[in-house]
A and B are shown apart, each in its own frame.
Chain A
Amino acid sequence: MRDRLLKVLQKVTSQPLNIGDEDSLFESGLLDSFALPDLVNGLEQEFSIKVPDSDLNPRKFDSIARIEAYLSEHVQ
């Protein structure tokens, strides 16, 4: 799961992912407001999930660790 997550993140950011798992993707400059929807769309496609509107909260996707936690809960 982690490798696939990083692949999606790499594709969206088009930058080296030189950050820790807990580091903010937004504060690090890897993601901005217009890249975030692309990340969510990419995760949906890669993991065949549907992120409901009620889960469209930037905090859920703020770090590699948080994305991994979200996917662990929602990917079967």
Chain B
Amino acid sequence: MTYIHAFGAHLPSRVVDNAEMASQLNCTAEWIESASGIRERRWAGEETVADLATAAARDCLSRAGVEASQLGMIIVSSGSAERRFPGPASTVAAVLGLNATPVLDLPIASAGAIFALSLASQLTSCYGDILVIAAEKMSTVIQGAPLDQNTAILFGDGAGAALVSARPGRMEVIDSVLHTDGANRDDLTLDWTGPLRMNGLTVILQVSRKLPAVILEVLQRAGIAPAAVKQFVMHQANQNLLMKVAKSLGVEPSLMFSNIAKYGNTSSASMLIAASEWEPTPGPVVFAGFGAGFNWGALVARVV
């Protein structure tokens, strides 16, 4: 058995509202909100991806009541890390004072948190307590090239974290499912020299089908009906997408946890940031994400 003991998050202090974005783009603040559900996002300034990740890690460890020295592994997801290698995970470990704890970097945008959470839930029997972190500095990405209205309005910076353990805790992981289909690998890409390229039509068309399908797949394996789920905590890509997934699943829109209005799409970090603000109630909860690759997956847990 594997349990999620706590979540954590870190958001940079600088708030960039839609009015500021609209002033740099050929659009209005109202259009940004209607197209995405986003009212503002955070930009990190001088903080690096590893800085964001470390701050989220500390928040999560504090909430879990666990010392960094107790960790058996750290997994860090980021699609916006500043260098090819080493990735931010080794920096996080060093700043936390660890000098022999294994770390993994997952350069998986958007879906990285669900991949890391699922993998960690399989590894706790070998490695003990695992700290999962997802950290993104998307402001560097969107400012690294002339601002593109279709992508610049969406993204923000931040980091989330989760402490996963074989020790019994409040949230038991029941099952998870991960998938990858490279057929559309060129429809959402970011080279080292930028800019971010997104074929929004293909991405939304694919995610609208694949995300509800993988949620139904993991729920079916667990023998849980969608209507029995207390909350869906998903990658915060776009408010309209969250509502579309709710409609496909036949569940109330209110079951889709959403904080995208405050933070925008923070890529792989968004699901864990959302989880850190969600107040668990007893019963099943589904975590899910979708992103470049395309990679997508879902995990079902039970709050006891």
Contacts and interface: CB of A to CB of B under 8 A. Distances in A.
Interface stretch (B125-133, B198-206, B216-224): B198-206
Interface string B144-188: 000000000000000000000000000000000000010100000
- Most chain B C-beta atoms within 10 Å of own C-beta, residue among A26, A34, A54: A34
Interface string A38-55: 001000000000000110
A36 B205 contact: yes
Nearest to A62: B201
B183 A54 contact: yes
B201 A58 contact: yes
A40 B205 contact: yes
Nearest to A51: B209
Contact of A36 (B181, B183, B201, B240): B201
Contacts of B205: 33, 36-37, 40, 56-58
A53 to B, nearest CB: 6
B209 A34 contact: no
B66 to A, nearest CB: 40
Main secondary structure of the interface of A (DSSP, over half): helix
A37 B209 contact: yes
Interface in B206-234: 206, 208-210
A34 B204 contact: yes
B15 to A, nearest CB: 27
Given A34-B240, A34-B244, A37-B244, A53 B206 contact: yes
Interface in B231-279: 240-241, 244
B204 to A, nearest CB: 4
B94 to A, nearest CB: 42
Contact of B206 (A26, A34, A56): A56
A58 B202 contact: yes
B180 to A, nearest CB: 13
Contacts of A53: 181, 206, 209-210
Contacts of A26: 201
A25 B194 CA distance: 30
A36 B207 CA distance: 12
Interface of A: 26, 33-34, 36-37, 40, 53-54, 56-58
